[in-house]
């Protein structure tokens, strides 16, 4: 889903950069206010896992590329603010060092995968989980699966719309290419997210940004 340089028009590049910069500034401010140093190791581990997962990708004719995101996983463990910062760091390293995604369109990649993937994934996960039962493993599993799948598909659709508005690819071609592949990729995203979060739920539920009530009682500060 990483967009290369030259695929987007100047207006789309400018708009997504403004949104990305605002997101980063707000996330930095909120993360500094809400988190303590003990969250840093978890951010590092989460970032390394997502980085490795995203590096397994393939080109999509008529679109950009297909790969996992990890936004819902980051949001569930770190919250939307620190989770988005981890995603931004991953995108920057991939773009600068590995040329995976262009520099001029880095704002668009952050917007598509960071904002939609992390914020959208987290808040959908949170809404479903607490509607079903916030302290139940089954509620977490269903919420994580639905949110992970949806975040990937929605991000791919937004990417297709940006390509079409920029005049790079007709909308029907871009949507068919991106959405069709990412509907399948999103199944893998949901499975990996559920497996990872289920393991953490059973072993260290206090690591969740919104831990189950019993974890809050036993470890009142472990969320940070």
For the chain, domain boundaries:
10-207
Q: Which two tokens stand for residue 95?
A: 């773009």
- What average pLDDT does range 167-192 have in this prediction? 90
Instruction: Yes or no: say if 135 and 213 are a contact pair by the CB < 8 Å rule.
Output: yes
pLDDT in tens, 91-140: 898 888 877 778 899 999 999 988 888 999 999 999 999 999 878 999 99
Query: How would residue 165 be classed by pLDDT, with cut points 50, 70 and 90?
Result: very high
- Which residues are paired to 203 by β-bridges? none
The yes-or-no verdict on residue 155 having pLDDT over 50 is yes
**Does domain 10-207 bear CATH number 1.10.1760.20?**
yes
Query: How would residue 58 be classed by pLDDT, with cut points 50, 70 and 90?
Result: low
DSSP tag of 39: G
pLDDT score, position 149: 94
Query: In angstroms, rounded to a whole number, what is the distance separating the alpha carbons of residues 209 and 223?
Result: 6
pLDDT in tens, 131-145: 998 789 999 999 999
Q: Which residues of 12-38 are buried (b: 16+ CB within 10 A; e: fewer)?
A: bbebbbebbeebbeebeebbeeebeee
Query: In angstroms, rounded to a whole number, what is the distance separating the alpha carbons of residues 9 and 1?
Result: 17
- What average pLDDT does range 210-224 have in this prediction? 59
The yes-or-no verdict on residue 40 having pLDDT over 80 is no
């Amino acid at each position: 889903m990483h967009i290369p340089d030259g695929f987007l028009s100047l207006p789309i590049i400018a708009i997504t950069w403004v949104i990305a910069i605002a997101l980063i500034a707000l996330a930095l401010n909120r993360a500094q206010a809400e988190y303590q140093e003990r969250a840093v190791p978890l951010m590092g581990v989460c970032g390394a896992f997502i980085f490795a997962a995203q590096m397994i990708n393939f080109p999509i004719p008529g679109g950009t590329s297909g790969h996992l995101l990890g936004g819902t996983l980051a949001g569930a463990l770190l919250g939307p603010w620190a989770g988005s910062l981890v995603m931004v760091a991953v995108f920057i390293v991939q773009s600068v060092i590995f040329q995976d995604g262009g520099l001029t369109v880095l704002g668009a990649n952050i917007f598509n995968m960071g904002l939609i993937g992390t914020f959208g994934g987290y808040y959908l996960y949170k809404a479903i989980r607490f509607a079903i039962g916030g302290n139940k493993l089954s509620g977490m599993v269903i919420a994580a699966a639905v949110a992970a799948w949806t975040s990937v598909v929605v991000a791919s659709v937004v990417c297709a719309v940006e390509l079409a508005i920029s005049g790079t690819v007709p909308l029907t071609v871009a949507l068919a290419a991106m959405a069709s592949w990412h509907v399948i990729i999103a199944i893998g995203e949901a499975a990996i997210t559920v497996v990872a979060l289920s393991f953490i739920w059973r072993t260290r539920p206090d690591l969740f940004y919104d831990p189950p009530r019993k974890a809050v009682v036993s470890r009142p500060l472990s969320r940070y």
